[in-house]
Structure 1
Amino acid sequence: MLSNKNSKKTILYILISTAVLSTLVIALLANLYRQPPKSTAPQINNNSGIPQPQLLSAGIESGMTIAEAVAKSSIPGVVGLSVLKLEGNSIFDGNTSEKWGVGSGVIAHPNGYIITNNHVAGGKSKRIIVNLSDGRNVDGTTVWSDPVLDLAVVKISLKGLPTIPLGDANTVQIGQPAVAIGNPLGLQLQRTVTSGIISALNRTIKIETEEGTNYMEDLIQTDASINPGNSGGPLLNSRGEVIGINTIKVTSAEAIGFAVPINVVIPIIDKLVKKGQFSEPYMGVFAYDKEVVPYIDKNVKIDSGIYISTVDKKSPAFKSGIKECCVIEEVDGHKINTMLQLRTYLYSKEPGDVINVTYCHEGKPVKVPVKLTVKGSSKLLTR
């Protein structure tokens, strides 16, 4: 047996060791607790210099709400747009007039690439004046636009501009916080911030474009206030990332606004930065998803894929055997359930690339290669 003296030494040693170990464990846990969680958002391809998403919550000042923090970090990257447009049919018959309009935009790259709406800066734009947050007014030029997506990209000849990180709309969930920034009712209310939540996803609405009636798919719905002049401004998540471009609101109801998911324009910005231009890959089809098809033809019902309503007879798709009423299910092994998904994937390709399209015709799956060309002057609303 141990002597009484040795027993006391052993007990004292155990107590000291336990105390030291407990202190180390507590210190370790406290350190982990203080560290902000790592970002789990997908990283944007930064080879072109497009800003990477940052963890905004780590920089929130004491007493500052998420909406206030988002606004503080993002406002310098929001611009005002004054656009002079020609209205009318032809400059030769005298039935045209000039009219100024206003909107908003998002600086997506420090070298002057700005994302906005087609109805703001597309079409017959005669002059575009970009108002920066530091008070400068600079002339801009529309380098790409699409009336169906209601998106456009404006270029100004400046570098080192403040930007807003582009996020991933595919990670957005209903109920998450949303912040909209823009210039409602004109430039006298510049960079107004409104906040709310993501009300719904994958919304489809009917619109009138310069090329006729169409449907906008996959829209993000929010109750953050969106008014005339907000068009083209960013819809942000709580991390301060752009998840959509504000496009339209329902005028017959309150707190119902929509934004185009940002993902579709990211490959366009990437190519404009790298090459100075965007040559749009052309497949030659226009299709509708399962939510829209019943409005087009009540006799048609699909559970997945996109239903082809129009095929350009001179297009790569037609030459590969793809016809109207077929249902595209996959492209290069990727499931396709909306026209926006197809566009996003095609924009990541180049004219001349070959894609493998799986479609259903008369109940049978067919897989064909399609060689993409450059989109020309066809009036069809095709991609």
Structure 2
Amino acid sequence: MIKGKWILFCLCFLLPLQAQGSLPDRETPVVLAVRNVAPAVVNISAAYTETRHRSGFRDPFFDEFFRDFFEDGPEIRQQRTSLGSGVIIDGEKGYVLTNAHVVARGETITVTLENGSELPALLVGADTESDLAVLRIESNNSLPQAAMGVSRDLMIGEAVIAIGNPFGFSHTVTTGVISATNRHVRSNRHVFKRFIQTDASINPGNSGGPLLNIRGEVIGINTAIHARAQGIGFAIPIDRARRIAMDLIEHGMVIPLWDGLRSQEMDRDLAGYLGKGETEGLLVRNVEKNSPASRAGIRAGDVLSAMDGQPTTKMADYRELLEMMLPETPVRVDIIRKGKPLTLSMTLQSYPMERALDLPEKLMGIQAAEKPDSPRTVILTTIRKDSALDRAGARPGDRIRSLGEREITSLSDLHAALIRHRMDREVSLRIQRGNRVYTLTLPLES
């Protein structure tokens, strides 16, 4: 009798354990997503030599002050290594998408695959304003690649998965939900726009890794940019990342799209003055000849109300929509002309680089050149009389340090920065004369 009860007890105890250990019951969508994508997630190590001036101050603020005003002071050279994550987006060609700050200044970049293989990587291109970079690795074996999703239709509360290498722990998985979309986040001198906010933990080392939806598709690129964030993570939407990665692969830099429009925001006063009933939208002031807008049939005086189904009530919204569009792809444009709605199709183009050569003179009233005896140095050579820079006291020979959020080390940097800011009314400019660095807010000419 006792023996029979013991057998019954064992059966009652062991059978539930066997049921709990059944793999099919435990293979949740998260497990399947991670299993499919993990081989395409890589660890990135970027080694570089840091040169800084011996200021004697421990506060980074004073270090920067000392660097700007006393660049010829004693130097300290130190070996540094930055760690981060990345995701293979093209297994055939070996392209890896990551954050720009992960590989910034990297003299040697090493990518470690899930199986432990270490491969040297070449930097294809990086864009600090979006914090994205593309690397290329070569392997004798075929490389896995992650499936791309879309980020335009994300839902608040949607489950997400982050994979990366926080603090050097490879292939760490965290889960959470989307807390918000279209978040603007400030970090140092940069303002990152339209980020995905999630409560999935994203720590140093996670930067550059993928944010996945429950189907295992990449919907964002994680970035640990908020040093004091706890329980808050941010990711760059994949729609924007895909567009930027394409430019970096094809051109080595981001080429903003060109529409050929000069517009301004509408308000009640302007609408009343012009006799228009519309108070929301962008008033088209001018349309460039032979531009995408002119070929689409847009005219001066039209009010641009939506693009690709998204309202365009603010210039900032319109510019951010352009950042996510693809060149040579028709996009729906809703306008109001003489009080009547009209839908047109516009095919955007990458901004023609030959047009960029005239932007320094057109927008700033200057000509610039790379200094032959000083690498990575761009100086003013001509300043138009009565231009904003002339009135500010700038002189030929002054060095252009940065425009907007872009460091200027070549004429191509200057042209790329002006392409990006060409529709702005003003832009931040840092120039250097001798050991002094000046920061100006420069109005741009139309």
The answer to whether structure 1 residue 148 and structure 2 residue 186 are counterparts is no
Aligned to 2:228: 252
Aligned to 1:171: 153
Aligned to 1:22: none
Question: What pairs up with 1:193-208 in 2 under 5 angstroms?
Answer: 193-208=173-188
Q: Contact 1:175–1:197 at 8 Å: present in 2 too?
A: yes
Distance 1:237 1:303, change over 3 A: farther
Aligned to 2:43: 80
Question: What pairs up with 1:174-185 in 2 under 5 angstroms?
Answer: 174-185=156-167
TM-score by length of structure 1 reads 0.61
SS at match of 1:165: coil
1:95 is displaced (CA, Å) by 4.5
SS at match of 2:166: coil
Distance 1:100 1:307, change over 3 A: farther
Cα distance in 1 for partners of 2:224, 2:280 equals: 27
Cα distance in 2 for partners of 1:303, 1:207 equals: 34
1:279 is displaced (CA, Å) by 7.1
Cα distance in 2 for partners of 1:80, 1:358 equals: 44
1:341 is displaced (CA, Å) by 2.1
Q: Contact 1:306–1:336 at 8 Å: present in 2 too?
A: yes
1:288 is displaced (CA, Å) by 12
SS at match of 2:187: strand
The answer to whether structure 1 residue 71 and structure 2 residue 34 are counterparts is yes
> Cα deviations across residues 272-298 of structure 1 (Å, max 9, x unaligned)?
77x696772454999999xxxxxxxxx
1:248 is displaced (CA, Å) by 2.6
Distance 1:99 1:153, change over 3 A: same
Cα distance in 2 for partners of 1:154, 1:144 equals: 7
SS at match of 2:160: strand
Cα distance in 1 for partners of 2:160, 2:210 equals: 10
Distance 1:253 1:116, change over 3 A: closer
The answer to whether structure 1 residue 220 and structure 2 residue 202 are counterparts is no
Aligned to 2:115: 134
Cα distance in 2 for partners of 1:343, 1:182 equals: 26
Q: Among 255, 261, 264, which residue is 1:280 paired with?
A: 255
Cα distance in 2 for partners of 1:205, 1:171 equals: 21
Taking only the aligned residue pairs, the percentage that are identical comes to 34
**Greater relative CO, 1 or 2 (CA 8 Å, sep 6+):** 1
- Residue type of the alignment partner of 2:82: G
TM-score by length of structure 2 reads 0.53
1:157 is displaced (CA, Å) by 1.8
Q: Contact 1:355–1:371 at 8 Å: present in 2 too?
A: no
Q: Among 352, 374, 379, which residue is 2:417 paired with?
A: 379
Cα distance in 2 for partners of 1:213, 1:176 equals: 28
Q: Contact 1:264–1:340 at 8 Å: present in 2 too?
A: no
Cα distance in 2 for partners of 1:286, 1:137 equals: 49
Distance 1:329 1:71, change over 3 A: same
Where structure 1 has 5 or more consecutive residues not aligned to the other structure, the ranges are 1-59, 290-301, 309-315
The answer to whether structure 1 residue 103 and structure 2 residue 78 are counterparts is no
- Residue type of the alignment partner of 1:373: Y
Distance 1:288 1:342, change over 3 A: farther
Distance 1:243 1:307, change over 3 A: farther
Cα distance in 2 for partners of 1:321, 1:178 equals: 44
Aligned to 2:106: 125
Aligned to 1:37: none
Cα distance in 1 for partners of 2:108, 2:264 equals: 35
Distance 1:185 1:237, change over 3 A: same
Q: Contact 1:279–1:374 at 8 Å: present in 2 too?
A: no
Q: Contact 2:126–2:253 at 8 Å: present in 1 too?
A: no
Cα distance in 2 for partners of 1:196, 1:131 equals: 26
Distance 1:130 1:175, change over 3 A: same
- Residue type of the alignment partner of 2:116: G
Question: What pairs up with 1:185-334 in 2 under 5 angstroms?
Answer: 185-186=167-168, 189-208=169-188, 212-214=189-191, 216-248=192-224, 250-269=226-245, 280-283=255-258, 329-330=305-306
Cα distance in 2 for partners of 1:83, 1:288 equals: 43
Cα distance in 2 for partners of 1:242, 1:288 equals: 35
Q: Contact 2:255–2:350 at 8 Å: present in 1 too?
A: no
SS at match of 2:119: strand
Distance 1:349 1:61, change over 3 A: same
SS at match of 1:61: helix
Cα distance in 1 for partners of 2:132, 2:87 equals: 12
Q: Contact 1:177–1:198 at 8 Å: present in 2 too?
A: yes
1:150 is displaced (CA, Å) by 1.1
- Residue type of the alignment partner of 1:379: A
- Residue type of the alignment partner of 2:151: A
Provide the alpha-carbon RMSD of the alignment: 4.6
Where structure 2 has 5 or more consecutive residues not aligned to the other structure, the ranges are 1-22, 52-66, 266-277, 285-290, 293-297, 357-414, 423-446
Distance 1:342 1:191, change over 3 A: same
The answer to whether structure 1 residue 61 and structure 2 residue 41 are counterparts is no
- Residue type of the alignment partner of 2:158: Q
Q: Contact 2:98–2:209 at 8 Å: present in 1 too?
A: yes
> Cα deviations across residues 163-220 of structure 1 (Å, max 9, x unaligned)?
110101112211111110001012xx10100111111111111233xxx443x22111
Aligned to 1:19: none
> Cα deviations across residues 316-360 of structure 1 (Å, max 9, x unaligned)?
89xx999xxxx9755688755734321121xx216xx99998899
Distance 1:167 1:336, change over 3 A: farther
Q: Among 328, 342, 345, which residue is 2:322 paired with?
A: 342
